Chain A
Amino acid sequence: MSFMFWILAALTIAGGLAAVLLKNLVHCALAVTVAFAGLALLFLQLDAQFAGFAQILVYIGAVAILVVFAILLTRGSETPKKEIGVFSRTWLAGLVVAAALFAVLSWAVLQSAGGLSQDDAAPTVSVLQIGQALMGRYVLPLEIVALLLTAATIGAVIVAMHEKEDSK
């Protein structure tokens, strides 16, 4: 357990918590960006450079920006009124469920911690191999993802497009 790992884990968790807890939506968005960055660094820690950079490119470069845009377009940036909090009426139940889930998962992890592999030899994987895998063994998923992205782009555009009749 490297020292680096703990720092990054703390950063990520902190970012996640902030994202969930903060009042101002934009702060949440920025916090989640921090969490994304932390995750990307964790990936690098796991010798998964490609995945890490892809994570940065996609999440910080695109998703975070999208979220921010959405927030500004839905006037979410103003801090909400005091009388209704940022949490829904049923927040307690939600919290309980989440806690239960975490309990179960961690229980599972600790249960099976003994059986987990100990070896720490970093696998040497070049981008070339990844590319060949993408184009060879995983070409079908790749094509499907490409289709999915196209469909999603078009769909998002159509969904978010202004209907001509209701010009509010």
Chain B
Amino acid sequence: MLMQEMASVPFAPTTHCGPAGICDSLWLIPALPIVASGVIALMKQPQRKAAAALSIGSLAISLLLALVAFGHVVSGWTHGAAVRETVNFTWIQVGSAHVDLGWVLDPLAAVMLVMVCFVGLLIFIYSTGYMAHDENFTRFFCFLSLFAGAMLGVVIANSLLLLFMCWELVGLTSYLLIGFWYQKPSAAAAAKKAFLTTRVGDVFFLLGMVWLFAQTGTLLFYNGGAGSMEALKLGGLLATPSGLGLTAAGAIGLLIFAGAAGKSGQLPLHVWLPDAMEGPTPVSALIHAATMVAAGVYLIARVYPLMQAGALVGGTTAALTVVTWVGAATALFAALIAVAQNDIKRILAYSTVSQLGYMMAGLGMGGVAVGMFHLITHAFFKALLFMGAGSVIHGCHEEQDIRKMGGLRGAMPTTFATYAIGMLALSGFPLLFSGFWSKDGILEAAQHWSVGKAPFYMLVFGALLTAFYMTRQVSYVFFGKWRGHGQAHESPKVMTTPLAILAFFAIALGAIGTPAWPWFRAFLEGHAAEFGFAGFNEPGLLALMVTSSVVVLLGLGLGWWIYGNKSPQVETPDALERAVPPVWTVLQNKFYVDELYGVTVIAFYAWWAKVADWLDRRVWGGVVALVAWLFRGGAQLSRLSDEYWVNGGFDKGCEELSNSGGLLARVQSGKVQTYLRLLALAVVVLAAILIWSSRG
């Protein structure tokens, strides 16, 4: 019904907004930063202040709007109504088929909006300090604003197509920002790698999207019952089977998940993420820790109805199973690699990968709330860690190797304190930190997973490793004695203040996700949140908490025991290396994944390129040459015919023409009176004829 209406009036938005009408102006949130970036693009390089002010201001306004939207949703929720407001309009119309775009405001979007805007704003501010001495300051902020806009677009999108557009825009900006220092060949290579790798995922994503459109005829998520994420269409999807014993829903879900995996650096497409650390640290913090990589997770959460379509109560679907396994595997795998890295940012990168794995697993087993909660908390403390790392690097004169640091505890106290908080949150230190609660949620979900227990153990081991490698990193960086060159110094206020703010949230956010008061879950799932310790009475919950605490403490202790307060020199091999060299080398080389790709995929492409080149030169070139030869022959023939038949006739005709023209030209003597005479003569004749005909 709505479809017909929209088909009849294109561009007439069909809105289900509440009286607040905030979602009518929701589009402003992404639009503002994009516009800002456009304006900055026109600015001259020296106008640093203006550029920074513009991007930060625009994002601040976006944040305000986001908060308003969030408040709107919350108020709706507290009044017992799960808010989901959409604004849709027809973008292209071809005959009866039309492609719709639109945006949606629901708890998921609201939470994500606030998070992205808030973290983004802090990172913007941080960047003004970090990039202060870069001559491409304005360009940097242009890209940054563009990224923020695109990311917010992804968040509010109510149409898979719009989401995909913003998604690609995000990819583009990530490429631009990774390669920001394009004069460094490594950075350029990393940018290319990131772009191509994510492209692999996006191809599948696109396939899934097309299939979805072919099946349901709409790409809107929610459209008053007619959207592709709503029961009507999902039923249709479930009814249509596809190969491999999957329903269409499952297949499409898997395809979309491939895209998400690409963006979120899941196995086997994780390779680009560590290299992406070539970009400036704020970029790493914003894009490759807090927001963009989370976009994949967010996408899965967004299409969750599709993923779990047809699942029995407490059961699961093929798609979700795949998600779970991939997530768990990634979590463990990346954590292992992280243990053996020496670059401060790479360690964090791999930990990001593994945390993303946790989120995916959480989504796969525990549902949207679990995954998203970890996403939010992780966004905060991972951004905090990255920015702390940035501050460390800044303080150590662009030094990134943790073996060349040490003892910074005294040199940069603020950084140390905040970093420690972030580290504890990440490794999930019991009770105090948000990381603990979110990870705990995931573990709990894994414990009760109906398919099997393996993911649970993998995740637990991952947690242990997380605690371990974070301890290792911290003790390398902040304890022991100074091994670097020059003198380390604390970073400026503009960089440390955001750290403090983030640190606060890294702790505080835990409060909204405890079993005692599962506000977040309730909010997302749209039922009232009741406070009480009844939450702890669930079977095995307390035991689980104890287990994970023990595991974490074990990891911390182990790390401290091995690395604490010793300050090994750069050339001395790592402690673990001395213990188990082969394992170490494998980990050091990231399980040789890159090399594997190098000898398989890339080699194949190179060979294929050679083949194509050969075809081009020999076969097609030959054909072209043949055709050319034929035509030349034809041209010869036609030339002969021209010269001997056509020209003859033509010349004759021209001769005749010129002769007759000469005759006519006699009349055209240029003498006025001649003309007048002829005129008068004509008049005479005409008059004579007239009279003759009229007489009698």
**A90 touches which one: B674, B680, B695 (CB < 8 A)?**
B674
One digit per residue, 1 when the CB lies within 8 angstroms of any chain A CB and 0 when it does not, for chain B 424-450 equals 000000000000000000000000000
B25 at the interface (CB under 8 A from A): no
Beta-carbon contact of B683 and A101 below 8 Å: yes
A111 to B695, CA, bound (A): 8
Which B residues touch A90, using CB under 8 A?
671, 673-674, 677
> Nearest CB to that of B696 among chain A residues?
A111
> Nearest CB to that of A105 among chain B residues?
B687
A27 to B684, CA, bound (A): 31
Which B residues touch A107, using CB under 8 A?
691
Please tell me which stretch of A47-55, A91-99, A160-168 contacts chain B, meaning at least 4 of its Cβ atoms lie within 8 angstroms of it.
A91-99
A88 at the interface (CB under 8 A from B): yes
CB distance from A106 to the nearest CB of B (A): 11
Evaluate whether A104 and B684 lie within 8 angstroms (CB atoms) in the complex, with A111-B691, A111-B695 already known. Answer: yes
A105 to B686, CA, bound (A): 11
A97 to B674, CA, bound (A): 11
> Nearest CB to that of B669 among chain A residues?
A90
A108 to B681, CA, bound (A): 16
**A97 touches which one: B671, B681, B687, B691 (CB < 8 A)?**
B681
**Chain B at the A interface: mostly helix, strand, loop or mixed?**
helix
Which residues between 78 and 118 of chain A lie within 8 Å of chain B, taking CB atoms? 88, 90, 93-94, 97-98, 100-101, 104-105, 107-108, 111
Which B residues touch A101, using CB under 8 A?
680, 683-684, 687
Beta-carbon contact of B684 and A100 below 8 Å: yes
CB distance from B381 to the nearest CB of A (A): 84
| Contacts between chains A and B (CB distance < 8 A), count | 29
B50 at the interface (CB under 8 A from A): no
Beta-carbon contact of A104 and B687 below 8 Å: yes
A108 to B686, CA, bound (A): 12
CB distance from B276 to the nearest CB of A (A): 72
Beta-carbon contact of A104 and B688 below 8 Å: yes
Beta-carbon contact of B673 and A97 below 8 Å: no
A94 to B688, CA, bound (A): 18
Beta-carbon contact of A88 and B673 below 8 Å: yes
CB distance from B604 to the nearest CB of A (A): 78
| Residues of A in contact with B, size category | 10 to 19
CB distance from B678 to the nearest CB of A (A): 9
Beta-carbon contact of B680 and A98 below 8 Å: yes
Which A residues touch B695, using CB under 8 A?
111
CB distance from B127 to the nearest CB of A (A): 66
A97 to B683, CA, bound (A): 10
Which B residues touch A97, using CB under 8 A?
677, 680-681, 684
CB distance from A34 to the nearest CB of B (A): 24
Which A residues touch B673, using CB under 8 A?
88, 90, 94
> Nearest CB to that of B683 among chain A residues?
A101
> Nearest CB to that of B673 among chain A residues?
A88
> Nearest CB to that of A109 among chain B residues?
B691
A100 to B687, CA, bound (A): 11
Which residues between 493 and 512 of chain B lie within 8 Å of chain A, taking CB atoms? none
A97 to B695, CA, bound (A): 23
> Nearest CB to that of B676 among chain A residues?
A94
A110 to B673, CA, bound (A): 30
Beta-carbon contact of B677 and A93 below 8 Å: yes
CB distance from A53 to the nearest CB of B (A): 31
A97 to B677, CA, bound (A): 7
One digit per residue, 1 when the CB lies within 8 angstroms of any chain A CB and 0 when it does not, for chain B 642-680 equals 000000000000000000000000000001011001001
**B691 touches which one: A98, A100, A104 (CB < 8 A)?**
A104
Which B residues touch A108, using CB under 8 A?
687, 691
CB distance from B668 to the nearest CB of A (A): 15
A122 to B566, CA, bound (A): 137
Which residues between 476 and 518 of chain B lie within 8 Å of chain A, taking CB atoms? none
Which residues between 134 and 150 of chain A lie within 8 Å of chain B, taking CB atoms? none
CB distance from B675 to the nearest CB of A (A): 12
Which A residues touch B683, using CB under 8 A?
101
Which A residues touch B688, using CB under 8 A?
104
A101 to B688, CA, bound (A): 9
A41 to B673, CA, bound (A): 31
One digit per residue, 1 when the CB lies within 8 angstroms of any chain A CB and 0 when it does not, for chain B 615-644 equals 000000000000000000000000000000
Which A residues touch B674, using CB under 8 A?
90
Which A residues touch B687, using CB under 8 A?
101, 104-105, 108
A107 to B674, CA, bound (A): 25
A5 to B404, CA, bound (A): 130
A108 to B683, CA, bound (A): 13
> Nearest CB to that of B688 among chain A residues?
A104
CB distance from B667 to the nearest CB of A (A): 13
Which B residues touch A100, using CB under 8 A?
681, 684
> Nearest CB to that of B681 among chain A residues?
A97
Which A residues touch B681, using CB under 8 A?
97, 100
A97 to B687, CA, bound (A): 13
A147 to B683, CA, bound (A): 30
A107 to B688, CA, bound (A): 9
Query: Which of B674, B684, B688 has the largest count of A CB atoms less than 10 A from its CB?
Result: B684
One digit per residue, 1 when the CB lies within 8 angstroms of any chain A CB and 0 when it does not, for chain B 542-584 equals 0000000000000000000000000000000000000000000
A93 to B681, CA, bound (A): 10
Which B residues touch A105, using CB under 8 A?
687
A52 to B677, CA, bound (A): 31
A101 to B680, CA, bound (A): 7
> Nearest CB to that of B690 among chain A residues?
A108
A93 to B691, CA, bound (A): 24
A104 to B688, CA, bound (A): 6
A94 to B676, CA, bound (A): 9
A108 to B684, CA, bound (A): 11
CB distance from A85 to the nearest CB of B (A): 15
A107 to B673, CA, bound (A): 25
Which A residues touch B680, using CB under 8 A?
97-98, 101
CB distance from A112 to the nearest CB of B (A): 8
A156 to B683, CA, bound (A): 30
Which A residues touch B671, using CB under 8 A?
90
CB distance from A65 to the nearest CB of B (A): 24
> Nearest CB to that of A88 among chain B residues?
B673
Which A residues touch B677, using CB under 8 A?
90, 93-94, 97
CB distance from B677 to the nearest CB of A (A): 5
A104 to B681, CA, bound (A): 11
A64 to B673, CA, bound (A): 23
CB distance from A113 to the nearest CB of B (A): 12
CB distance from A20 to the nearest CB of B (A): 14
A132 to B577, CA, bound (A): 119
A100 to B688, CA, bound (A): 10
A93 to B679, CA, bound (A): 13
CB distance from A103 to the nearest CB of B (A): 8
> Nearest CB to that of B677 among chain A residues?
A97
Which B residues touch A88, using CB under 8 A?
673
CB distance from A37 to the nearest CB of B (A): 27
> Nearest CB to that of A107 among chain B residues?
B691
> Nearest CB to that of A91 among chain B residues?
B673
Q: List 18 A-B contacts (CB under 8 A).
A: A90-B674, A90-B677, A93-B677, A97-B677, A97-B681, A97-B684, A98-B680, A100-B681, A100-B684, A101-B683, A101-B684, A104-B684, A104-B687, A104-B688, A107-B691, A108-B687, A111-B691, A111-B695
- With A90-B674, A93-B677, A108-B687 known, 4 other A-B pairs at CB within 8 A are A90-B671, A90-B673, A94-B677, A101-B680
Closest 10 A-B residue pairs measured CB to CB? A104-B687, A97-B680, A100-B684, A108-B691, A101-B684, A104-B684, A97-B677, A104-B688, A97-B681, A111-B695
Interface residues of A (CB under 8 A from B): 88, 90, 93-94, 97-98, 100-101, 104-105, 107-108, 111
Interface residues of B (CB under 8 A from A): 671, 673-674, 677, 680-681, 683-684, 687-688, 691, 695
